[in-house]
Amino acid sequence: MVQEKGMAVAERIYSIMENGDGRAGVAFQISITVLIILNILFVIIETEPSIHTLYGAHMEAFATVSLIIFAGEYILRLSLYRHKMGSRRFALIRFAVSPMMIVDLIVILPLLLPFFGVDTRLIRILRLLRLFSVFKLARMSDAMSEFAIVLRSRASDFALAFCIFFIVLILASSFMYYIERDAQPDVFYSIPASMWWGIVTLTTIGYGDTVPVTPIGKAIGAGVAILGIAVYAVPTGIIATSFNEYRRNKKGDRCPHCGKNIGFR
């Protein structure tokens, strides 16, 4: 009977944490969300030297406390693996390697590493891992997954658009390298270096740090620039069509008055 009561408590904790049921669930979700946003904010502003000097120690303490809370949350979630995975074999391991649990683990990693004696330089970079806590928010968002469905339904179209982009990039960058390397040997010194120019041009960013100077180079650059328009037009066209289709299908294809199917509109 004690075990039964334990099960009931576990059930309740699970419904609070996973589904955000009841007042406790809402309070829990809001608290975690606020904690995540504060952590991300502090990772960003503590790099500002003037702020680091003044509040560095406080922020450090806040980070440690947060990670301990996240670690507690991780252990609690892990211990409730049966509610998610049922009694399948390797249920615990399967649950531990699910994307959301791995994100949770990555975030609390900096807490574990000092025990293994990692050098301080690495730890400094490991602080960045706290930024991954932003993905923890995905657990609470339905809209995100809906969005992902729309984009995934056209995955093959995007893959093709990406392949075409890559082929254009490689050809453009290689030609530019052979044409410009004599005029600017310290800018276009290799094809990978030339690909930096290619990406900056095809995406229309145009920093201006690598620019063709020879007449032939400029002529090819002009052609690449015009092709760059397609780089934007094609994915935009695909996305616009996907959204169009998705919303139509969602609204249903039946007349609300007579109930008959009115076809794909």
Nearer to its own copies, 18 or 245 (CB): 245
- The closest alpha carbon to 35, from 124, 127, 134, belongs to 134
Nearer to its own copies, 76 or 255 (CB): 255
> Phi, psi (5° rounding) for residue 261?
-70, 125
Q: Does 190 bind its own copies (CB under 8 A)?
A: yes
Q: Does 254 bind its own copies (CB under 8 A)?
A: yes
Q: Does 140 bind its own copies (CB under 8 A)?
A: no
Whole-angstrom distance, CA of residue 184 vs CA of residue 214: 9
- The closest alpha carbon to 17, from 36, 37, 31, belongs to 31
Q: Does 90 bind its own copies (CB under 8 A)?
A: no
Q: What part of residues 222-251 is at the interface with its own copies (CB under 8 A)?
A: 222, 225-226, 228-245, 247-248, 251
Q: Which two tokens stand for residue 226?
A: 């015009």
- Distances 235 to 37, 151, 249 between C-alpha atoms, Å: 31, 11, 21
Residue from 43, 69, 80, 103 in contact with its own copies (CB under 8 A): 43
Total binding residues for its own copies by CB under 8 A? 82
Whole-angstrom distance, CA of residue 167 vs CA of residue 154: 20
Q: What part of residues 149-178 is at the interface with its own copies (CB under 8 A)?
A: 156-157, 160, 164-165, 167, 170-171, 174-175, 177-178
Whole-angstrom distance, CA of residue 123 vs CA of residue 117: 10
Residues 3-42 vs its own copies: string with x where CB under 8 A?
-------------------------------------x--
208-211 long-range contacts, Cβ below 8 Å, gap at least 24? none
Q: What part of residues 98-127 is at the interface with its own copies (CB under 8 A)?
A: 125
Q: Does 206 bind its own copies (CB under 8 A)?
A: yes
